[in-house]
Amino acid sequence: MGQQIANKSELSDTERQVVHEISDEEPWALLEQFSELERVSGSDDEKEAAEYITDRLESFGVTYDRYDPELYISQPHDASVTATDREFSADFAKTVSFAASQTVTAPVEYVGSAGPSFLDDPDPDEALAEPYEDVGDLSAKIALTAAGSLSIRATRKLESKGAEGVIAIHEHDREPHNGIATPIWGGVPELHERDKIPDVPIVHVNSPDGEQLRSMADDDGVTAELSTSLTTDWFECPVIVASIDATEVESDEFVLLHGHYDSWHVGITDNATGDAGMLEIARVFDDVADTLNRNLRIAWWPGHSTGRYAGSTWYADEFGVELARNCVAHVNMDSPGTKDATEYTDMSCWTPEAHELVTESIDDVTGASSQERFPFRAGDYSFDNLGVTGFLMLSSNIPEDIRDERGYHTVGGCGGNSDAWHLSTDTLDKAGRDELVRDIRVYAVSLLRVLTPDVLPFDHRRNAEKIRETVAGYDDAAEDNFDFSPTLDALEQLVEALDSFQTAIANDDIDPATANRTITELSRVLTRLNLVEKKQFEQDPAVSRQPVPRYAPAERFETLDEDERRFLTRQLTRKQNAVVYDLENALEEMPT
């Protein structure tokens, strides 16, 4: 069944057994079930989907836990945009989770574009420019903006300029994409953060309606009534976590494979295909538990779409200390198996130490090309602040030339199929049987390569080197304003120490338990340095980020006045102290 394995000779016996066992039967049965379920978090359809998963796990004899936490969810219901001074009514308006549920009437002002989406290659000049820099006061106005899928930063900016409401024009001709407007990771704000949830109604419209509104606004002005209806409240939502424990060894270490099962509409390629893949991995890995050196947990999350990753964030909070101690890697399975997705170049991401592991797994299973991307602050990457090595989120994509041919605009999922992503058309026909089986095999092989060896396969020398390159870039950008050499020196020493460490591992000169402890501890320090700003048991907001985000403001020196430069210098001094302290501690802990 499915496609041939590209490099069968590179696979171990267990890997061969597992890829052979993986078929489309169980996965496709799930897709057919889920194609009848609109799995909005807090709904009966979501609970039915959870029960389908647990029924199947029981039939395989796989043990699992079901939790039913109350998550802070925002269900969008209806939205409309109508002109009050002429005939106009948007065809297919949608509001977004965590927008205000409200009706406002005001003149419409077109304010330009929201800026690049998180999937676009960051243009260093554009990354610095704030969206709407030249837009003035928007009090008593509705802001109309062009946005592929409106960025959170853009909404915040328009709200801070006084806008009463926001209309976002999507690139899609028929139906705007569903989305979410809160930057608060996990949905639940801390007490002091509640004002970060937008306080204005937000409506997405399709491209023809948006363009019509824009020309009316630009020509002689238009007044619109914008109306939204949402329920933002606590909903009990099932979280399912299956356990495949190593049977021949006792280990506290585990890998967390995870993905969301809630959806927009029936969400077949986002993310019923991922749910199906995880179920298939549970079924097949149960048979090879005797070959594992550490445990596998498989989690199906609710609350991803309407709660800004509420399910995975709940888990990260509830089991934070245990994850920090024992989770050696997290692997996200979101939107695999889209029809015609044949390469791994545009959407797949991983932390640097997992590069060889992931690219070799892709190559051995598929022979397709792949490309490393810096992990997006999106998906269910709720384990970044904990400092957990992560790989994959999205995986395969439709090649760019085919997307262009079909007129697909850029979207952040569904393999690049913009006629599926967060739309009512994300239906069974968007999934591919062969593509799904192939992607499940990629996940399976990469998981086995973490679960079976004595020593974890993560190369932190590469991680430290990449971070060093990034910091060197900030050091250049800061010119004489700031000196990052304490960080650069510490990273250089770490790279040297890691050279000897990797050699010792290769020569069996270090016992595996010590090596694994060191590797995991380095994941905590380096992943946090590379990906986040906030503390270990907190959550960075869901906004786009640069590598080593604590140091990224160094690029702004040239745009600042004298006082501001001195403020930023003080800020960076504090950040650098924390970084160097952590790096020195990590160095001291290195086995010699």
Find the DSSP H helices in 307-459.
310-318, 320-326, 355-366, 400-405, 433-451
Please report whether residue 262 would count as binding Zn ion according to CB under 5 A.
Answer: no
Binding mask 217-256 for Zn ion (x = CB under 5 A): ----------------------------------------
Smallest distance from Zn ion to CB 390, Å: 15
Smallest distance from Zn ion to CB 267, Å: 7
Region of 26-34, 56-64, 129-137, 267-275 interacting with Zn ion (CB under 5 A): 267-275
Shorter beta-carbon distance to Zn ion: residue 260 or 462: 260
Shorter beta-carbon distance to Zn ion: residue 328 or 393: 393
Shorter beta-carbon distance to Zn ion: residue 178 or 361: 178
Shorter beta-carbon distance to Zn ion: residue 334 or 384: 334
Shorter beta-carbon distance to Zn ion: residue 271 or 313: 271
Smallest distance from Zn ion to CB 566, Å: 44
Shorter beta-carbon distance to Zn ion: residue 151 or 271: 271
Token pair of 183 as six digits: 């930057």
Select the residue interacting with Zn ion from 164, 209, 270, 353 (CB under 5 A): 270
Region of 329-337, 355-363, 489-497, 499-507 interacting with Zn ion (CB under 5 A): 329-337
Element (H, E) at 216: helix 207-219
User: Which residues, including other chains, have CB under 8 Å from residue 59's CB and lie 6 or more apart?
Assistant: none
Smallest distance from Zn ion to CB 166, Å: 24
DSSP assignment, residue 344?
Answer: B
Smallest distance from Zn ion to CB 263, Å: 8
Shorter beta-carbon distance to Zn ion: residue 204 or 528: 204
Subset of residues 119 to 148 that bind Zn ion, contact rule: CB under 5 A: none
Subset of residues 176 to 205 that bind Zn ion, contact rule: CB under 5 A: none
Query: Total residues at the site for Zn ion (CB under 5 A)?
Result: 3
Smallest distance from Zn ion to CB 421, Å: 9
Binding mask 62-101 for Zn ion (x = CB under 5 A): ----------------------------------------
| Residue of 457, 462, 452 lying closest to 352 (CA atoms) | 462
Select the residue interacting with Zn ion from 75, 228, 271, 295 (CB under 5 A): 271
Binding mask 287-326 for Zn ion (x = CB under 5 A): ----------------------------------------
Shorter beta-carbon distance to Zn ion: residue 259 or 399: 259
Smallest distance from Zn ion to CB 65, Å: 23
Shorter beta-carbon distance to Zn ion: residue 228 or 269: 269
Find the DSSP H helices in 452-536.
460-478, 485-506, 512-531
User: Which residues, including other chains, have CB under 8 Å from residue 240's CB and lie 6 or more apart?
Assistant: 50, 53, 54, 57, 64, 65, 66, 261, 299, 300
Please report whether residue 426 would count as binding Zn ion according to CB under 5 A.
Answer: no
Please report whether residue 334 would count as binding Zn ion according to CB under 5 A.
Answer: yes
Phi, psi of 581 (to 5 degrees): -60, -45
Tell the residue number behind the tokens 């595996």, with chain if given.
512
> How many CB atoms lie under 10 A from the CB of residue 495?
17
Binding mask 528-547 for Zn ion (x = CB under 5 A): --------------------
| Residue of 396, 346, 395 lying closest to 371 (CA atoms) | 346
Are the C-beta atoms of 129 and 240 separated by less than 8 Å?
A: no
CA distance 64 to 58: 8
Smallest distance from Zn ion to CB 409, Å: 18
Smallest distance from Zn ion to CB 101, Å: 25
Shorter beta-carbon distance to Zn ion: residue 271 or 544: 271
CA distance 386 to 225: 44
Smallest distance from Zn ion to CB 425, Å: 15
| Residue of 33, 15, 22 lying closest to 428 (CA atoms) | 33
Shorter beta-carbon distance to Zn ion: residue 378 or 522: 378
SS3 state at 66: strand
Smallest distance from Zn ion to CB 314, Å: 17
SS3 state at 146: strand
CA distance 459 to 18: 25
Shorter beta-carbon distance to Zn ion: residue 387 or 413: 413
Region of 6-14, 330-338, 460-468, 546-554 interacting with Zn ion (CB under 5 A): 330-338
CA distance 518 to 541: 29
Q: At what angle do helices 512-531 and 562-589 cross, to 10 degrees?
A: 170
Shorter beta-carbon distance to Zn ion: residue 46 or 270: 270
Shorter beta-carbon distance to Zn ion: residue 39 or 204: 39
Region of 223-231, 249-257, 331-339, 344-352 interacting with Zn ion (CB under 5 A): 331-339
Smallest distance from Zn ion to CB 335, Å: 5
CA distance 310 to 301: 8
C-alpha angle 525-530-534 in degrees, rounded to nearest 5? 75
Region of 87-95, 169-177, 238-246, 263-271 interacting with Zn ion (CB under 5 A): 263-271
Are the C-beta atoms of 527 and 582 separated by less than 8 Å?
A: no
Per the omega criterion (within 30 degrees of 0), is the bond before 585 cis?
no
SS3 state at 582: helix
Token pair of 135 as six digits: 């837009």
CA distance 530 to 532: 6
Smallest distance from Zn ion to CB 103, Å: 31
The torsion angle over the Cα atoms of residues 40, 45, 48 and 50, rounded to 10 degrees, is -10
Token pair of 431 as six digits: 């999934």
SS3 state at 269: helix
Tell the residue number behind the tokens 């006082």, with chain if given.
563
Shorter beta-carbon distance to Zn ion: residue 109 or 334: 334
Smallest distance from Zn ion to CB 305, Å: 7
C-alpha Rg value of the chain to the nearest Å: 24
Binding residues for Zn ion (CB under 5 A): 270-271, 334
